[in-house]
Structures are given as C-alpha cells and as structure tokens.
C-alpha cells in the first residue's frame, strides 16, 4: 500500500509519461490539481487523498489533518454506477455474463460450504464477518442484519486489478497472511508478534477469533502445533502483510497466461456495466484465485486509488498526441 499512497510515486509516473508524450505538466500547490497541456489541448486533473471522515477511511479531495496518503489524480470527479455500488447488482451482472463469482444468498438454508457475511453496500472491507465453517442458528453473529447477505468463502491468492476503460493496466497478487505455530506460543501472542497493535488501531480480536475457528483453532489462547499455519486475514491491503515500498504490479509477469485471459475478459465485460458516462472510467476488480487457477471476482470499485502505472493509459485516452504514440496493446 505504501507504493500506491506515496505522492512521489505518482509524480514520478506523471513526469515520465508526460516527458515521453511531449505534454507539459504543472501542479498547483494551492489544491494539488494537475494542469496538463499539449498544443491547444488542456486538461486539469483533480487530486484525491486517503484520509478519515467520521472515523472511517475515505477518499477526500483536499489535504487536511486526517490525511494519510495520496490516492492519485483523475480527469473527473468521483463516479458511481450500480454494479460498483451494490454487490447484489454486481452478482447479477457477473452471473449474466458468465463471470465466476462466489455464490451468495440471504437464505441461511441455501448456504453451501464456508461462508462470510457481507454488506451489500460497503467499502474498504468494512462490516465483513466470518469466515464461518457452518451456519449455526444458535449463533447470533450468524444472523443477517439489515443490508447484509451470505457469500461462500473461497480462500486463495488475494488480487486487485486496475482498468482504464476496458484496458487492464495493473494487478497485485498477495498471499493471505498467516502465523505459524511453534508448539508453545498462544495464537494471540503470535498475532501480536506479527504486528504490534497501534493505539489508534487495535487488533480486531473478534475477526481473528473467527479465522482461528475456521482454521480449527478454537481459541486465541490455544497453542497451535509446530509448523501449523493459521490464517489471520484474507482482505487486500491487510495490516499483517510484510511492509514494502516497492511497486507490486506483476502484470508483465502474467501476460499471455491463462490467468491473464480471465482478467482481460473481465475488464471487457465489466467496462460495459458503466453506462452513466460517455468516456472511459477507472475501476478495479477484487478477486480470489483458487488453487486450480480460477479467478473468482468479488466486487467492482468505481473510485479506487489510482495505480501510478495507469497514468500512461489515461494520458493516451486524454490526448491525441499520446494516443498516437502509445501502442494500443498497453
């Protein structure tokens, strides 16, 4: 996440791309807007920052005391469309286009296999409960609340892919974080050793308890056997991932693979769900890749942070000169 939220990484990508395309770029320090020009063409791209609003992580358009990082520049204000705003709409659209997505329902009797409880409308992984191995009517936490649904849990590699229009431009693939038992340390202590809790961001012990039981460890005070791995998160951008400031885009390694074909098709399919705007939009797709290499798409995001590697694609689409000089197969 450090690479994505680092202002200098965005600035460096813009600097390189505009120099290549002969575009002049200037940033206004009053509001961090980016002015771009080529011949008679002019564009003003608007900045976004990662911050906190009412105690929740959010994207904001101005720096302030709660700013935590930079989320990138875009040539438009925030956009929303149904398939990216409502997971029920996402599920229906994916099913109609034969795109794999985990089964979902609101009827507990229809749950098959391990499951999560999610909100139809949420962001940043908020409000997810589970995974649970089996529905238990005696467990109050298994009952749906307003605006929630059940979704089958598929464990695998955690993936986020970025698109500009239908073009796939970046992808990050993560291993789900685990702790490994040593035969004498309780699970709670293993988690604490993995990452000390910050005072303003305590460990979510309820979520960790759910994951422990999913892995067959009944209590956080139990001692996992030597070499036994226990899952401690399954969401993109987990705080338990190893810290890295490197660019984790692996798209060049995946091109021309069966995995790539699934993401390329998904970009084409889901770009057609954007019907409210007449030009290209930035979006991401979150997914899990199972042990057989099948990509299970989880959700679409209409206002993600910009991956710095996407700027050449956006410039190509925004400027005739860039469009002429950048190969179509970006």
Q: What is the pLDDT of residues 236-270, one digit of tens each?
A: 989 898 878 899 999 999 999 999 999 999 999 99
Report pLDDT digits (tens) over 205-228: 999 999 999 999 999 999 999 999
Asked, for residue 308, whether it belongs to a domain, the answer is: no
**What pairs with residue 56 in β-bridges?**
53
Structure tokens that stand for 121 in this block: 């409308």
Taking only Cα atoms into account, the Rg of the chain, rounded to an integer number of angstroms, comes to 21
Q: How far apart are CA 18 and CA 28, in angstroms?
A: 16
Q: What's residue 321's pLDDT?
A: 42
| Structural domain boundaries, residue 112 | 103-153
Do 100 and 294 form a contact (C-beta atoms < 8 A)? yes
pLDDT on residue 239: 87
Asked if 147 and 121 count as a contact pair (C-beta separation under 8 A), the reply is yes
Please report the pLDDT score of residue 10 as a whole number.
97
Residue 69: other Cβ atoms inside 10 A: 14
Are 40 and 64 in the same domain? yes
- Whether residues 49 and 168 share a domain: the answer is no
Residues 112, 149: one domain? yes
Helices 7-21 + 311-318 axis angle, to 10: 40
Is the CB of residue 305 less than 8 Å from the CB of residue 59?
Answer: yes
Inter-CA distances, 124 with 11, 58, 59, 166, 305, Å: 25, 8, 11, 23, 11
pLDDT at 65: 84
Average pLDDT over residues 90-101: 98
Residues 171 and 278 in one domain: yes
Verify that 37 and 169 share a domain, yes or no: no
Tokens representing 99 are: 């795109």
| Whole-number Å distance between alpha carbons of 48 and 272 | 25
Give the tokens for residue 196.
């000390």
User: Residue 197: its pLDDT value, please?
Assistant: 56
Residue 313 placed within a domain: no
Domain count, the chain: 4
Closest C-alpha among 8, 40, 9, 10 to residue 24 = 40
State how far the Cα of 130 lies from the Cα of 308, in Å rounded to an integer.
33
Instruction: Judge whether 185 lies within some domain.
Output: yes
């Amino acid at each position: 996440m450090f690479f994505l939220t680092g202002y200098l990484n965005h600035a460096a990508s813009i600097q390189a791309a505009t120099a290549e395309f002969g575009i002049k770029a200037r940033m206004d320090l009053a509001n961090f807007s980016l002015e771009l020009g080529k011949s008679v063409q002019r564009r003003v791209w608007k900045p976004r920052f990662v911050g906190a609003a009412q105690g929740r992580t959010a994207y904001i358009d101005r720096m302030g005391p709660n700013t935590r990082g930079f989320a990138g520049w875009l040539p438009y204000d925030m956009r929303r469309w149904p398939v990216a705003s409502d997971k029920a709409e996402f599920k229906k659209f994916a099913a109609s286009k034969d795109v794999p997505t985990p089964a979902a329902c609101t009827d507990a009797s229809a749950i098959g296999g391990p499951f999560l409880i999610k909100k139809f409308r949420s962001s940043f992984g908020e409000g997810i409960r589970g995974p649970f191995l089996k529905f238990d009517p005696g467990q109050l936490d298994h009952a749906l609340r307003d605006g929630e649904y059940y979704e089958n849990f598929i464990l695998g590699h955690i993936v986020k892919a970025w698109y500009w229009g239908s073009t796939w431009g970046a992808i990050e693939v993560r291993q789900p974080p685990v702790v490994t038992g040593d035969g004498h340390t309780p699970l709670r202590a293993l988690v604490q050793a993995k990452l000390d809790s910050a005072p303003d961001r305590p460990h979510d012990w309820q979520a960790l308890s759910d994951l422990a039981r999913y892995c067959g460890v009944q209590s956080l005070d139990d001692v996992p056997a030597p070499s036994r791995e226990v899952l401690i998160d399954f969401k993109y951008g987990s705080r338990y991932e190893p810290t890295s400031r490197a660019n984790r885009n692996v798209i060049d390694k995946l091109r021309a693979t069966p995995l790539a074909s699934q993401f390329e098709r998904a970009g084409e399919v889901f770009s057609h769900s954007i019907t409210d705007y007449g030009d290209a939009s930035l979006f991401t797709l979150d997914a899990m890749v199972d042990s057989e290499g099948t990509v299970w798409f989880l959700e679409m995001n209409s206002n993600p942070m910009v991956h710095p590697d996407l700027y050449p694609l956006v410039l190509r689409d925004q400027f005739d000169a860039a469009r002429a000089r950048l190969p179509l197969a970006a």
